[in-house]
Structure 1
Amino acid sequence: MFCLPRCCAIAASFSLSLSLWSQPTQVPTDILSTVGDLEVTVWASSPDLRNPTNFDVDRDGRIWVAEGVNYRWSKGRDPEGDRIAVLEDTNGDGKADKSWTFVQEPELIAPLGIAVIDNKIYVSNTPDLIVYTDVDRNLIFDPRIDKREVLLTGFNGINHDHSLHSVTFGPDGLLYLNHGNSGALVTDRGGNTIRVGSAYDGLLGRDSKPLYGVYPAEYAGAKSDDGHVYVGGFAMRLEEDGTGLEVIGYGFRNSYEQTITSAGNVFQNDNDDPPACRTTYLLEYGNTGWFSEDGLRYWQADRRPGQDIPTAQWRQNDPGVIPAGDVYGAGAPTGIAYYEGDVLGKGLRGMLLSCEAARNVVFGYLPKEKGAGFELERFNFLTSNEEEELAGTDGKGGRVSNEIKTFFRPSDVVVGPDGAIYVADWFDPRVGGHSDQDKTASGTIYRIAPKGFVPEIPNFDLSADAGRIEALKSPAVNVRALGFKALKASGQESLPAVQGLLEDENPFIRYRAIWLLAQLGEKGVETVESLLIDEDPIVRATAYQSLRMVDGYNLLEVAGGLSKDSSAVVRREVAVSMRDMPFDKAGDVILELAKSIDGTDRTELEAWGIACIGKEDDIYKLIVAQIGEADPLEWSDRYAALMWRLTRASSVADFYIRASSTALSTKERLDALTAIAFTSSRATVDALFRLVGEEGIVGETAKWWLLNYRNTRFANFGVDARLKAEGIYDPDTIVVSGSVIPQPQEENYLSLDRVLSLNGDVERGAAKAAACYVCHKVGDSGVEYGPDLNGWTSRQGIESTIRAIINPSEDIAHGFEGREVVLTDGTIINGLLESQGDPLMVRSMGGLRQMIPGDRVERVKWYNRSLMLSADQLGLSEQDVADIVAYLSTLE
């Protein structure tokens, strides 16, 4: 399965004709289920398209497909290069009957994005963002007539899916796109350079070298020309002419695509390392947390004691990181879209759609404002696998199924100008793991629409306001760009027509009008200003955002009043707009915004933190003077949150009082400890050493901070010598014990069928479950080494539980893949890595934690089996297993 964010690859030869293959090439529609009374039909299929990585739809309903035949190890499979294919339904019967190649060239190697905006076709083909201009508008690229230009270059990750992704037209008239974490060093057409590096140099593509001879790790932590530091994957926006490139979010692993609502809200998905894929509202300028602040530390190196994997992976306990959104587990998310039309019914208007290829589903959400953020409740909009019997994924060890329901691998989703939903299926029994098993390079485009749907595609005339308005109202995001641009070009002449949209029944159309009015001259701006007191907070927030686009507009004149707005959504927009305002201008606004922080709305707190960037010391003094609360143990939730987000060295003494107080909750104490550890001073180190003496998780975490940051954040404060002197960590005296998991014998595995045939006894099972305590939490007993078995059977099912006990290596739970650490003296430790720094921290069977000095480690490699002993190795009989599973079934 190509170009899904698990670094997939195609390993087939393209020398055989598609027609020669006898294997299936399409998931039948009768096993695809959707919501309500909608139906799924095939709009197009191979051989009209091959391996669709991304697609878009134009004003006439034609679908343009970026193909990935030459992805990764299959580079050269089609020596003519990859294609941009065009497909058309000429007779309106709901199925494409015509297809052709717009462009094919050797330089196109698995492009990951395509956007069609009028006669400009944007193709994301790392290292370049290419624009093909179809000058004669005949839908075929002819280099003698048409124009090909590289709008931007410098994106790393050639022929790699952690690279440049698709363009989307925003309601503000700007182009939006994003990039995975393989690094970028890009200068826009205005001479502005962004530098986004990280420790992930990645597999840059076969025969590829880093751009400009510099690896991303070498510019990780470097400032871009705007004065800010960005790391990991990132989202950006720019003017159509290639100027004004601006990073609007960062810290991703590999977000595949973004969607922008007409209210200006950006949503994206991002794939995991272990089980923590997510769908997220991207707060403007927000950090999503995949890497450390300097980009050089992966989440594994910074996973603190007691943190679960999703919390650690997305750094949800760290100041300066936005909420992760809907974290749903292992997967491979791809294309994403937002539905603002009416054809599917008003109940689905405002629906967020996110493709999840590993799970054979397109997720649906109906985002609801919750404070300054959104509540994202997930449902299956389109799936071939309601039972969620997954196969062919990394989480299943790559094992595929012959059930075609697991072959559905949606790579992208778009909304057509007819209001229907279109989904591209890559089609493969495998996803991830650098491999595929569909040798036909097949693909399908499905349409989801009401039963009996007859498509109606408006034929608008852009030379008149009526046609321009019709285009702006299109449910297809890149089609509405035509109306926006034409109306903007006509200036104040179009003002009455656009003002009329403020009365439209569809709120998203009203929001589009607001953005455009702000760009239609003085009278348009006046209209937008009048909306700053509208009763609808989304209208107020959109009006404020649109005024930021007005050249020379004095934003502070309205920011002061809106900083007191009753809506967290409005205050959020005011906050992020203050990021680059100097303190002498923004200070009063930021202070007023602070007064509304309640300590529970993380999105609003992070928006406020973004407002403080570059002026934290001045804001800290202002907050202490104007809001200050004297006794740290009596701090309000609001004041504690403000101090935590600012993380100033001046607050270390106060946070030490909170961290050491048993009168506060464990969460409050750990938050205080985090606030201390995110500063760098001698007072910081002194406080951490004192806290090492605290019992339980607080003391353990204080020690973790000292060990993990002694050579970086705390390098100038003599931590090593003090660790030795206080008997906490002396690499010269540490004794490391080996821990080797014995090899199971497959011939000794118990019979699954036999266990299933037995009746289990709960009481006997409770006694026998003591064998599990050495590695698992069972009830109130055991240790946290393997997965918590409370509720495990109810989630996984009886058969899966039995399989896991009989042969644990058959399906290793995500996040519990082991490592084998080999020391220089030959000692071997099998276990889980808790930290990849120096010392290396490893947890082995029985929950034994060991700190291993870095200079004693010869190599670390993945362990190719489960760290759990099989049933026969534990001395369990088939009846014992039946009894244990009966007992586990009673645990919640």
Structure 2
Amino acid sequence: MLRPTSALLVIAAGLSATVFSAAPDKPKKPSNYAVGKPAFTPDLSQPAFDASKVTPEHLDTSMFKVPEGFEISVWATSPMLYNPSNMDVDAQGRIWVAEGVNYRRHSGRSREGDAIRVLQDTDGDGKADSSHVFVREKELECPLGVAVFDNVVLVSNAPNIIKYVDVNRDLKFDPAVDTREIFLNGFEQQQHDHSLHSVYAGPDGRWYFSNGNCGAMFTDKSGTTFRIGGAYLNNPYTGEKSDDGHVYVGGFTASIDPSGHGARVLGFGYRNSFEGVKNSFGDMYLNDNDDPPACRVSHLIEGGQFGFFSADGKRQWRADKRPGQDIPTAEWRQDDPGSLPAGDVYGGGAPTGMAFYENGALDSKWNGMLLSCETGRNVVFGYLPKPDGAAMKLERFDFCTTNTTGVFKGSDFVGGKDNMSDERHTLFRPSDVCVGTDGAIYIADWFDKRTGGHMDTDETCSGTIYRVIAKGTKPVSPKLDLESPEGQIAALKSPATNVRHVAFTRLEEKGAASSKAVGALLEDKNPYVAARAVWLLAQLGEAGTQRVRIWLESDEAHQRLVALRALRAANADVLDIISAMVHDASAAVRAEVAVAMRDVPAAQSQNILIELAKRYDGKDRSYLEAWGLGCTGKEGPVWLKLKEILDGNPLDWTEKFARLTWRLHPVEAVSDLQVRATSDKLTPAERKLAVDTLAFIKDASAAQAMLAAAKDKAAPIHQDAMWWLINRSTNDWAEFGIASELKKQGIFDPDAVKLVTIETPPAIPSTIKVEEVMKLKGDIAHGQSLVVRCVMCHQLNGQGVEFGPNLQGWGISQPSDIIAQALIEPSKDIAHGFDGVSITCKDGTKIDGMILSEGDIFIVRSMGGQTQFVARNKIANRKKMDRSLMMSATMLGMTAQDVADIVAYLRQAE
């Protein structure tokens, strides 16, 4: 908790003294924003990449650990491919690879641009023996995605998704014969990892893709424009509505019809989801990068957000981190209404490609396995998701790794740009994973001493594709005739996602004539194969739809869910079917009903939403969020009706109704929430929930209610109310004159607060060398006593100040030399997100610290965790510091032995 004197410093910022009133209309943003601005100009002064002059490398398969009963082999390696950023599989079992020789600072290294390669095992011996370039263009600068749908090849190369059609099917792009078009454009920042990622197919016949938090403004062929910005690059359209009527911010997942029409945003609020999957049940999963360590693998609920930015996109998570919140909770806004559960948050890393294994050459117990590449940890994670209310439970295990030590190198979460791997088991950088038509699992290795930080160091540009199969088996890719009905059905049963899509489209084109053959798959013993038939039958006319409706009556919840999703995908006008499922026993089915209500007017959806609310168990956060999404734009009417049915007196609310109110936070609830927040008849937790709910209501009446809650300085929620007043006075409530109201009501006088000078001591040369420390044996017990010097800026063992990175468990994953380096020369590698700024005020006050929020008021956190709120008009100048805010070991009076002792302690401190 902030101390009262610290918390109230915000008022000294001189907020507007206007009375509480509605905010004025937002000014129009400029429309000439440069889309896709390159991060780098090709550097033609560097030596051109010459494969004949490098000796490529790959890791020996003996270094890999895979589950019992599996074996791993090299399927292809350089010079057959270089720097694989992404890959896909076609119907003939060939693997297509997007190369990144020209990655970032090496732009121009391949003079003619990067390539899309085609690799094949022509003799079926389990190794590629053929490789050639499909296309190479100067415009291709480390494309981050390649997707193959028969002879249509989509390449994700910001700012564009490029569509190549191999008309003569010779696997070589010839502009004289083949066609090339920009399928979609408007994705910000060419040559940026946080931009456009790969396209993949869903079971519904649509194409899916993700984009990082660089932002995008793209228009589909229906003429619908989407504007997705965020505080990362401060895009001028940040916070503006897209043409579908919704505001999207941050990284996002979208889908689109292969014709280019009907684009939809399905999830947003990410940092940088590199790839996602949508399996044959229609479950969506994604991974996401961290800032700082809070990487996640998550189940995505349609339309949901994960909260990396504020709802308007103007603030990153640090600006809204509440007292007492840990980083994962704050980073993904897990305590905020409207944020989806983050799923498996595993700490630092750099996740990349994903795949979902449904059928193939492995034992059936592996059907339903989610795979996620993690380059920072030298591993491909595995999950076997299980239904958990309205979500899926994700329990992680290592599916394929070279590093079981728990000590990692060459990644942002370990250290900054100067941190490199120097041991071979840390060089495995899995950039992508996919399932082949033979049912084997293929893993692409970027191979480098570094991942993240937009860096690559391997001048050989080595790359490898590894193949994982069951021991003693020799799976081969079947010959698929995509022109025959039998071949199309066989392709629909393929383990390879995008191959199934080709079969889907061919069978769909035939309409009802395909129904009988597709319907036969409903009896397949593999539930994923049977589900594929349902999605297609729903689009094959009335006869097919009737067969799908039968699944709505199934005893199996997953069949009812698939049927409902398939019918929604085939025909948006299925309100009768949706309303019939409102009483379903499965929370997942009811959640699907809820999200289907998002764009349905209140007149048609309110009764359905009320019935869904009655069946909320008061605990399932995913269900609550799905229901809240369904209430979008009609929160007030739904809440008033709920109040009438479920609860009356605000002091008699059930916990369930209080949570439903928190999720909707309608302005109509303000007076009741004020009663609850200020009543000493309720528990502190109940009062706090009311306060937190008020904080998300963007109305002057909510600010007034919060002031009323803060007035009683002895109340258990006083500090919470004051923190929200401070925070909201810089953003959502900035126009409501909080400063003058606080003074008028006698809560706080801003004129009585003075800013305090806090300067970081000047750096002095280090008297300690890392090499010296590494020769010493550390004393763990002494290190534990010494580490108390760190808690003035770091948290450890539940103690300390929240200023620098949390040290709890940090040392376990760090090499000893990296820990020592951080203590000895903290300015050499400043942790991402912890850059310092030096502010000089007009009255001479100097403040060194981190800017948590910037606007009319700057929220600045300094050494010792002291937070000050500085009015912009009080600042004379500010500049980025060229050194760390952290004092070095020498400045703290430590010896080399002291450093060795602290390193020893941190290496074992869970």
Q: How is 1:586-625 mapped onto 2 (pairs within 5 angstroms)?
A: 586-625=605-644
Please state whether the residue corresponding to 1:166 is helix, strand or coil: strand
The answer for the alignment partner of 1:521 in structure 2 is 541
- Paired with 2:268 and 2:400, the residues of 1 have a C-alpha distance of 30
- Matched pairs, number: 867
Given candidates 582, 601, 621, the residue that maps to 1:582 is 601
CA spacing shift, 1:858–1:316, aligned 2, 3 Å? farther
> Shift of the alpha carbon at 1:326?
1.4
1:686 paired residue number: 704
Per the alignment, in what secondary structure is the counterpart of residue 198 of structure 2? coil
Query: What is the DSSP-based 3-state SS (H/G/I as helix, E as strand, rest coil) of the residue aligned with 2:362?
Result: coil
1:446 offset after TM fit, Å? 1.1
Whole-angstrom CA distance in 1 between matches of 2:553 and 2:604: 23
Q: Distance in 1 between matches of 2:127 and 2:248?
A: 44
Report if the CA contact (8 A) 1:708-1:839 is conserved.
no
Distance 1:682 1:169, change over 3 A: closer
Question: What's the CA shift string for 1:802-826, capped at 9, x where partnerless?
Answer: 7766666677666655544444566
Question: Partners of 1:496 and 1:119 in 2: how far apart?
Answer: 27
Q: 1:208 aligns to what?
A: none
Instruction: Tell me the distance in 1 between the aligned counterparts of 2:572 and 2:807.
Output: 60
Q: Paired residue for 1:30, among 50, 62, 65?
A: 62
Displacement of 1:644: 0.6
Q: Paired residue for 2:451?
A: 431
Corresponding residue of 1:193:
225
Q: For residues 236 and 405 of structure 1, what CA distance do their matches in structure 2 show?
A: 36
Give the aligned partner of residue 245 of structure 2.
227
Conserved? CA contact 2:66–2:400, under 8 Å: yes
Mean alpha-carbon deviation: is it higher for 806-815 or for 668-677?
806-815
User: Paired residue for 2:298?
Assistant: 280
Decide whether the 8 Å contact of 1:275 with 1:815 is kept in 2: no
Q: Is 1:21 paired with 2:54?
A: yes
Q: Which residue of 1 aligns with 2:15?
A: none
Q: Distance in 1 between matches of 2:311 and 2:905?
A: 46
State the one-letter code of the partner of 1:27. L
Mapped partners of 2:647, 2:752: distance in 1:
47
Deviates more, 1:181-190 or 1:772-781: 772-781
CA contact (8 A) 1:367 1:374 kept: yes
Change (3 A) 1:516 1:535: same
**Offset of residue 391 of structure 1:** 1.7
Give the whole-Å Cα distance in 2 for the aligned partners of 1:66 and 1:813.
31
1:350 to partner: Cα distance: 0.8
Aligned partner letter, 1:315: R
Aligned position for 1:498: 518
Residues 275 and 814 in structure 1, CA contact (< 8 A), matched pair in contact too:
no
Deviation at 1:121, TM superposition (A): 0.8
Contact 1:740 1:828 in 2 (8 A): no
> Taking structure 1 as reference, are residues 631 and 848 closer, same or farther at Cα in structure 2, changes over 3 Å only?
same
Matched with 1:45 is 77
Are the equivalent residues in 2 in contact too, given 1:8–1:431 (CA < 8 A)? no
- Greater Cα shift, 244-253 or 731-740: 731-740
Structure 1 contact 124–166 (Cα < 8 Å) conserved: yes
CA distance in 2, matches of 1:883, 1:219: 51
Q: Deviations over 1:665-690 (max 9, x none)?
A: 66544432221011133331222223
Residue of structure 2 equivalent to 1:447? 467
Amino acid of the structure 2 residue aligned with 1:17: D
Q: Pairwise CA RMSD of aligned residues?
A: 3.1
Residue 138 of structure 2: which of 92, 98, 106 is its match? 106
Q: What is the rounded CA distance, in whole Å, between the counterparts of 2:41 and 2:431 in structure 1?
A: 14
Change in 2 beyond 3 A, CA 1:635/1:429? same
Q: Which moved more, 1:691-700 or 1:572-581?
A: 691-700
Task: Tell me if 1:484 matches 2:517.
Answer: no
Change (3 A) 1:184 1:817: closer
After superposition, the Cα gap between the structure-2 partners of 1:849 and 1:621, relative to the gap in structure 1 and judged at 3 Å, is same
Alpha-carbon contact 1:758-1:879 (below 8 Å) kept: yes
AA partner of residue 122 (structure 1): L
* Residue aligning to 1:704: 723
Task: Decide which moves more: 315-324 or 826-835.
Answer: 826-835
Greater relative contact order: 1 or 2 (C-alpha under 8 angstroms, separation 6 or more)?
A: 2
Change (3 A) 1:397 1:152: closer
SS of corresponding position for 1:296: coil
Match of 1:92 in 2: 124
Are residue 257 (structure 1) and residue 279 (structure 2) matched? no
Q: Which residue of 2 aligns with 1:213?
A: none
2:589 is aligned with 1:570: yes
> SS of the residue aligned with 2:183?
strand
Matches for 1:281-296 after TM superposition, within 5 Å: 281-296=299-314
Q: Is the 8 A contact 1:8 1:436 kept in 2?
A: no
Cα gap change, 1:267/1:794 in structure 2, threshold over 3 Å: closer, same or farther? closer
Is it true that 1:297 corresponds to 2:325 in the alignment? no
Corresponding residue of 2:7: none
Whether contact under 8 Å (1:647, 1:676) holds in the other structure is yes
Distance 1:305 1:334, change over 3 A: same
| Per-residue CA distance 1:21-74 (angstroms, 9 max, x = gap) | 35x632222212222221221111122212212111111111111122233333
Q: 1:852 aligned to 2:883?
A: no
- Distance verdict in 2 for CA 1:566–1:551, change over 3 Å: closer
Q: Match of 1:206?
A: none
TM-score by length of 1: 0.90
With over 3 angstroms needed to count, the CA separation of the structure-2 counterparts of 1:859 and 1:534, relative to structure 1, is farther
Deviation at 1:566, TM superposition (A): 0.8
- Listed one character per residue, the Cα deviations across residues 535-562 of structure 1 (whole Å, up to 9, x for unaligned) are 1111001101111133474x22222221
Q: 1:483 to 1:412 in 2, by over 3 A?
A: same
Amino acid in structure 2 at the alignment position of 1:508: Y
- Cα distance in 1 for residues equivalent to 2:740 and 2:797: 42
Counterparts in 2 of 1:867 and 1:543: CA distance versus 1, 3 Å: same
Q: Which residue of 2 aligns with 1:359?
A: 377
Distance 1:782 1:312, change over 3 A: closer
Matching residue within 715, 727, 732 for 1:713: 732
For the 8 Å contact 2:728–2:734, the answer to whether it is kept is yes
User: 1:508 Cα shift?
Assistant: 0.5
The alignment status of 1:173 with 2:205, answered yes or no, reads yes
Deviations 1:137-193 (A, max 9, x none): 111112222121222222222232322221111101111112222222222122222
Residue 741 in 1 paired to residue 774 in 2? no
TM-fit CA distance, 1:864: 5.3
* Secondary structure of the corresponding residue to residue 510 of structure 2: helix
Q: Which moved more, 1:875-884 or 1:694-703?
A: 875-884
Structure 1: stretches of 5+ with no match in the other structure:
1-6, 202-215
Correspondence for 1:382 among 367, 379, 400: 400
- Answer yes or no: is 1:635 the counterpart of 2:653: yes
- Three-state SS of the structure 1 residue aligned to 2:569 is coil
CA contact (8 A) 2:760 2:863 kept: no
Determine the structure 1 residue equivalent to 2:215.
183
